[in-house]
Amino acid sequence: MIINFNDITKYYGSELVLDKVSGTVAKNSRIGIIGANGAGKTTLVKIISGFERADSGQLYINPDVVFCHLEQTPVFKDGYTVEQEMKTVFQRELDALEKLKNIKPDCDASKSEYDSLMKFINARDAYNIDVKINYVLNGMGFSQRQKQQMTSTLSGGEKTRLAIAKLLLSDANVMILDEPTNHLDFKTCTWLENYLQSYPGAVICVTHDRYFLDRVCSEIWEIEFGHLTKYQGGYSNYKETKDKNLKQAQKIYRQQLEYQNKLQDYIAKNLVRASTSKMAKSRQKELDRMEEAKKPQIYSKQIHIKFLFNKKSWFDVLKCSDVSVFASGKRLFSGFTIDLKAGEKLAVIGDNGAGKTTLFKTLSGVHKEYTGRINWGKEVSIGIYEQNHTYPHPDKTVKDEFWDQYPQLTDNEVRSVLAAFLFSADDIEKKVANLSGGESARLQLAILSKKNCNTLLLDEPTNHLDIMSKEYLEAALSEFCGTELIISHDRYLLNTIPDKIVYISESFVKVFDGKYDDVIQHIQQLETEDKPVKKEQSNTNQTYKSKQDRAAAAQKRSRLYNCEKQIAQLENQIKELEEIISKNPDNYQLLSEACDKLEENKHQLDSLTELWLSLSE
């Protein structure tokens, strides 16, 4: 146990946020904190990490605990590249290496300082700083060009990825992450999850990413109605256990209520009768001793969504043949070929920047820079949800924005629909320009829910939604009997909704039958084998490689093998040199030669590691 808290209570004004919550964090805990927006998740994290004080309760933090936090808005040093910013994590080690260069090991006056520095450098593995930085930056999806990019020019998502990369190399033993998978593509998410599984410290995550919770977390803490309930396992286990507990609590409540009602009926019928009065009084005493049956609480502030379906379209909904999409003259991908039938649910996935949103705009008729054929079928009526919707009239209120779409509705009907999407009487008077991401998402879903259509075209519909809202949206998508084309990076949704998945990238486009877990290994295998699929025909899965392509692939495999062999040799040499240094602390000449050779070998290892990573891509 490194953190322990008991009976923590916290108010914001008169509102009770946390009501006598208790919990323990072990040195290797993997905890996911979930709850509705505003439930108190961030408040609890701030309290247990010592950044905010509770109104009452006890908190113990082990003196050896070092926290690191993923900030919502990361701040970096001015004038630094990505690589330079990463090196700030190792400032003490870099200072020690610089100082070591100015010390003469054969000088008696410097002997003690030299020994001390060498112990620190070896203990901190300072000669491998560049290797560690490159390993994490590559894992977090930074290219060689991006490593030399100024941090001030990074996008919001790139800054978040850089902030996570710095955390992973910090000295902290308790890592606190707030929505860590935002802005991450599938590869980076998977790499981060694998890294966190073997992280030697504790990890506490506040996230709406259910797939991440399943892969990383062994405990789920849910904050609801001010109380903290702990569940063992990941999100799927939490969901199953909570449903089971709720059904059991409802059953007990019904039984208790039924029994109490029977007692009351018996007392009412028999209390005035002389022959049964004594028994009735005994039952009354029993009833008085019983606690009043309490109905299990169910969180009611959730969206209520159902998509309206009009008449069926013809069987052929969408046919795309050998579509190539461009942006400013640059080809994003080619060979996009699908034959979407009525009632099918198709998901489109790919890395960040692959062109998924541009494909969405192309299919909806907004983006015109493409080649190939796109044919929508007869009597297809489309409902569209945009990821980053821009309002043409930002001064409109929420109510007016919705009402202008459906002017036939009454004022009460408009208010009723918006209330189903959690807009209060005050909220509907907000200007759409001032809406948060979550509010804008709910407004767009409200507008879409009233549109009579038979085909849904959705771009990242679960972005900005909390976990329960995602669950309700997925239920609505499952119940909708029309056709769906969904662009998403929500892996939990991708395991629930689609019948087929299209993966798009610069090198290949391919259609897979099944859900995310069914196809992800096939996608990874295709990327590893570097088999670009230039064209996906509806009746064949064949791909073609020229003789030159096969020769180039063979040459690449040979270079990769030789590179791995050289890396293994260098690693053995480095290990031997480190043993020489540790066993000969008094032989300054030998130490000096060994240190020089060690530094040279590690520089070679850095270069070979870079080459290996580029060949492995």
Q: Mind giving me the DSSP string for 528-565?
A: HHT------BTTB------HHHHHHHHHHHHHHHHHHH
For residue 511, the cross-strand partners are: 502
Q: How confident is the model at residue 607 (pLDDT cuts 50, 70, 90)?
A: confident
How far is CA 496 from each of CA 56, 210, 287, 307, 338, rounded to the nearest angstrom?
Answer: 43, 12, 48, 17, 21
Sign, CA dihedral 459-460-466-467, equals positive
Please give the pLDDT value at position 229. 95
- Does residue 501 contact residue 514 with C-beta atoms inside 8 Å? yes
Percent of the chain residues topping a pLDDT of 90: 55
Question: Quick one: tokens of 204?
Answer: 């506490």
H or E segment to which residue 502 belongs: strand 500-504
CB atoms within 10 A of CB 569: 14
- What is residue 499's predicted lDDT score, i.e. its pLDDT? 93
pLDDT of residue 482: 93
Structure confidence by residue, pLDDT tens digits, 303-334: 889 999 888 889 999 999 999 999 888 899 99
CA 430 – CA 368 distance, rounded (Å): 35
Tell me the torsion sign for CA atoms 148, 152, 157, 161.
Answer: positive
pLDDT at residue 405 in the model: 93
**Least confident interval from 302-316, 371-385, 535-549:** 535-549
Q: What is the pTM of this model?
A: 0.77
Distance between CA atoms of residues 537 and 518, nearest Å:
21
Q: What is the pLDDT of residue 206?
A: 94
Phi, psi of 126, rounded to the nearest 5 degrees: -70, -25
Out of 3.40.50.850, 3.40.50.300, 3.30.70.920, 3.30.590.20, which CATH number does the structure's domain 316-529 have? 3.40.50.300
Rounded average pLDDT over 519-532: 74
* CATH H superfamily, domain 1-66+172-233: P-loop containing nucleotide triphosphate hydrolases (3.40.50.300)
Angle at alpha carbon of residue 567, lines to 563 and 573, rounded to 5°: 145
More confident residue, 277 or 456: 456
Give pLDDT, residue 52. 93
The pLDDT of residue 68 is above 90:
yes
Pair of tokens at residue 206:
């506040």
**Is residue 486 scored above 50 in pLDDT?**
yes
Q: Does the pLDDT of residue 533 top 70, yes or no?
A: no
- Return mean pLDDT, the chain: 87
